[in-house]
Amino acid sequence: MIELLARPLADAFMQVGVYVAVLVALFGWLRWRYGDRVTDGLTRRPRLGPLVGALLGVSPGCGGAIILMPLYARGKVSFGTVVAALASTMGDSSWVVIAADPGFALKIHALLFAVGLATGYAVDLLGIDPARALHRSEVRPDRRPESVDALADGSAGPAASGQSTALALLTRADPVVERQRRMSTAFWGLTTPAFLVSVPVVFHVVDPALLSAPLGGVDPYLVLGCAGTFVAVLIFAAGRGRFADDTLETSQPRTVRDAFRHSAHEASFITFWVAVAYVGWQVLSTTTGFDGSQLALAGAVGVLVGALIGLIPGCAVQIVFTGIYVSGGLPVTTLVANAISQDGDALIPLAALRRRAAGLATLITTVPAILVGLTLLLFVG
């Protein structure tokens, strides 16, 4: 039972969750600290749009791509900028790859950046923009331009400011928020010792048995890993399976405390789905003897399937898919096709603001996903 369930649950937190937590917290702090500086420069230099879009998209997680969506809805950036961000982003499944193999993660993110950059500029050169008419007229009352302006600029009028103040006061006393803060504290309380244990074990610096000896045979890796995954599941359940950072309002935290609370939620979301992938794969391989070599996701079929799965909005399915790759169940060509095709959670706010643009963008990113996947197949076999 330990190898069937406890071990993969511990691995989900110790091999992925703790590293995701540290990296997400770092990026959350950077978003809080530097805010709109990049996007402010972008609106002044529209020709650099796809370049900046690819840079924001390739950053781990979904926050970089998300902040471009209201700017596009207001006509401040080109459709090619949006496509560049969506093609270059690996969403939150990028954390899984970074935690598992940083060297490989660097290579795949460099490829994603190049593909996103080329695709974004191609879209702009071809003049593709489903919202061009809306950008010219700037009149669509059903699109709530004022609220979009406030989200994009990080500012609002007096009425909105008063509403934000009232909301902050209510949130401070909200028992749900307080519960989330307590769980976030518990999460970081476990993450700190778990990180200190994980680093020497995962990188084979220390024999796990040496850590168990002083504790009377108790394996700290197993205990901390299972406990961390359990807390992550609680946070995931408390959030009803939603991704805290994947809204326009929370893509840029307003305080350091909010940054760490959102980071705990984001890391828990990823840990939960990685645990699902790890446990599912362990149960499948143990009970059936299936080791991945029998999987029909190799070759051209695998590239096509990976690209089509990337059409599914959101990060949950993509995280599970990437987790299967990390477990050895997918070839790299299938992963690359999926990484280019998937749009992370940035597609969700885009669909809320410009539905036609979202549909067209996700179809466009599928094209380079298939082409690059098939091309890579010629080199890796």
Alpha-carbon distances of 379 from 4, 116, 285, 302, 333, rounded to whole Å:
36, 21, 29, 15, 10
DSSP tag of 47: G
Burial tier of 162 (Cβ tally within 10 Å: 0-12, 13-18, 19+) = exposed
Query: How confident is the model at residue 360, as a pLDDT?
Result: 93
pLDDT in tens, the chain (381 residues): 666 788 888 888 887 788 778 877 877 777 677 765 655 665 667 688 899 899 988 988 777 787 777 778 777 788 999 999 999 999 878 888 887 888 999 999 999 999 999 999 999 999 888 876 554 544 444 444 444 444 444 444 444 444 444 444 444 556 766 777 788 888 999 998 998 888 888 666 777 778 777 777 788 888 999 999 999 999 888 876 654 444 545 556 677 777 788 888 878 887 887 788 778 877 877 787 655 544 556 788 889 989 998 888 777 778 888 888 887 778 889 999 999 999 877 787 788 778 888 899 999 999 999 999 999 988 876
Separation CA 41–CA 319 (nearest Å): 32
Which helix (H) or strand (E) is 278 found in, with range?
Answer: helix 256-288
Give the orientation angle of helix 158-173 with respect to helix 145-153, to 10 degrees. Answer: 70
> Cα–Cα–Cα angle for 129, 121, 103, nearest 5°?
125
Separation CA 289–CA 372 (nearest Å): 32
The answer for 144, left when phi > 0, alpha when psi is -120 to 50, beta otherwise, is: left
3-state secondary structure of 111: helix
Query: How confident is the model at residue 42, as a pLDDT?
Result: 59
Residue with tokens 């700037």: 138
Residue with tokens 């996701």: 297
Alpha-carbon distances of 180 from 257, 263, 333, rounded to whole Å:
12, 12, 39
CB 111 within 8 A of CB 36: no
